[in-house]
Chains A and B, each alone.
Chain A
């Protein structure tokens, strides 16, 4: 709407198509409040961040933020960022969590959705149980998993019972195991969301087309790959995009479980930013990191949206 109205209002008024021009101007006036709001919500903080990221400004540097130009450091934050191994390690860690968690959540969610698309006894009960992890406050979930993975915790107890030996693994003190624990917690908490979105997509697949495919001799797997998946493409892309973006910002559960440790073994971007913000207090640098992440996420979002438009065209 705003995209369409703006250019025409800016264009010189042509008397010939006056009514059209008038309605465009009215449209602009009507959407003005919304445009100002968007400006304040999105554009203003962004510009502020960009501004600060070009300086050494910190809350304790003695100047108000709008005077940060006094601390101008000529792109030093960005060159520092490029050389910051801890930043790159955090980025790597975030990416690793993402490439494990999102596909796992997707496949589990899809399998569960397929299961729940048909009727079976006790479906409602299982459905409610399945959605519970999503309702748990992430901080609480973090504390829960923190307790579960203690050396004397239930996870080790179960392993002991299964193997018949006493297992006392210090899960959260070992870099690899801590990483695994964090991944498990994320999958536990976010598979239900994936399941819910995919189920909505699955029940939207027209039943008669599936029947038609069956009558034409397609087996269950063929029906799934040739009818169900193509029809769900848009919703799959939405689900994946939501989870990729959310997962990139993974913080609360993880922070309570490991605090990013041991060492920096589970230090994701958000944890790193948090530490730099609260411990080192160099906000100019934080702003630079945040902008870098924003750029990365925007690229992901644009890519997803492009694919989605294409998929919708194909599936309609």
Chain B
């Protein structure tokens, strides 16, 4: 069994808490991405799963087996380091065969498996090369191959693509996903690049400052962020968030956005929960999920900046706290200074409690 269960995991370095009560369950064969900004405790979590660090509190289970006290060499995990940790004094072949040699595998089997892995990762012509003069792209493949050859049930990758060039990164994303489909390992993949997490992972665990913020399928995390941090962090650009208060209107419950007027009526599910409260909230919607108003009703805001990115256009509107971005799939024809009236797609509107930062969820 190679499901991974992290239960109430805490890691402290002296007075500094790097990880706070982390609860995460990764299913057998699942591709889980740990996503978060630098220093949020991703590597720390991985190192504890691999056994390189002892948890300060809590438990790690593989299947139903408690890993406390199991040394890292016996956990049967493959690990790809952030900086690869290639054995530079060996050849590529020496690196790939290392694990098998240390376990005393017969020479014929070593040759066969090295051959197979080298073929898979296109390392065959480089097998005899010394590892100290190889490019990062190749080192990265050697690092993956060196672990993959052991056919671990659990594969941990710590930002394996953060140092390689963009073109190769795109190739490796598909390769890795392919590899995982083929071998069905449980894969934990650390990254601070949400595109990587979104495209490869079955589920994403978003972390910030040592706290697990949300776990869910990529689209779920994108569509239904659990709190303000996830709303801002996921998506490029992140979700638009405007401060305001719930208010009653003819069309139903709306958010009074102060100088921006009132929002379009809220979806009934959210309205039902919010009705009657008067606390400050954030009105959120995705920059990709807006249209320009046809009848003049909506959020009227001045354009402050227009960013063209290939086919897409990002239009920045408003300023300071009351600024939003809108992404259009075409030129949009927006001019700086002009006032646009935007209508967020009703179904994609999210409301967050300003006090707790949590999303207001429709009941039921």
Contacts from A to B (Cβ < 8 Å): 206, 208-209, 211-219, 222, 226-227, 230-231, 314-316
> Size of chain B's interface in residues, with CB distance under 8 A?
24
Q: Is the CB of A217 within 8 A of B85?
A: no
Do A213 and B98 touch (CB < 8 A)?
Answer: yes
Enumerate chain A residues within 8 angstroms of B204, measured Cβ to Cβ: none
Whether A211 contacts B88 by the Cβ 8 Å rule is no
Label chain A's interface by main secondary structure: helix
Contacts of A206 in B (CB 8 A): 85
Q: State which residues 53-93 of B face A: CB under 8 Å.
A: 71-73, 77-79, 81, 83, 85-89
B89 near A212 with CB under 8 A, answer no
Q: Is the CB of B89 within 8 A of A216?
A: no
Inter-chain CA distance A28–B73, complex, in Å, is 58
Partner of B89, one of A208, A219, A222, A315: A315
Main secondary structure of the interface of B (DSSP, over half): mixed
Residues of B within 8 A of A (CB): 50, 52, 71-73, 77-79, 81, 83, 85-89, 98-99, 102-103, 130, 132, 146-147, 150
- CB pair A316–B132 under 8 Å, yes or no, is yes
User: Are B147 and A216 closer than 8 Å at their CB atoms?
Assistant: yes
A316 and B88 within 8 A (CB)? yes
Instruction: Look across to chain B and name the residue whose beta carbon is closest to the beta carbon of A311.
Output: B89
Q: Which residue of B lies closest to A316 (CB)?
A: B132
Residue of A214, A217, A219, A226 contacting most chain B CB atoms (<10 Å): A217
Question: Could you say which of B52, B83, B146 contacts A216, with CB atoms under 8 Å apart?
Answer: B146
B87 near A211 with CB under 8 A, answer: no
Do A219 and B73 touch across chains, with their CB atoms under 8 A apart? yes
- Which residues does chain A contribute within 8 Å of B146, judged by CB atoms? 212, 216
The complex places the Cα of A93 from the Cα of B314 at a distance, in Å, of 85
For this complex, 23 residue pairs linking A to B, each with C-beta atoms less than 8 Å apart, are A208-B85, A209-B85, A212-B87, A213-B87, A213-B98, A213-B102, A214-B71, A214-B72, A214-B73, A215-B50, A215-B73, A215-B78, A216-B73, A216-B150, A217-B73, A217-B102, A217-B103, A217-B150, A218-B73, A219-B73, A219-B102, A231-B89, A315-B89
Q: Which residue of A lies closest to B75 (CB)?
A: A215
Contact of A218 among B79, B81, B88, B102 (CB under 8 A): B102
Contacts A212-B79, A215-B79, A216-B150 given; does A230 touch B89 at CB 8 Å: yes
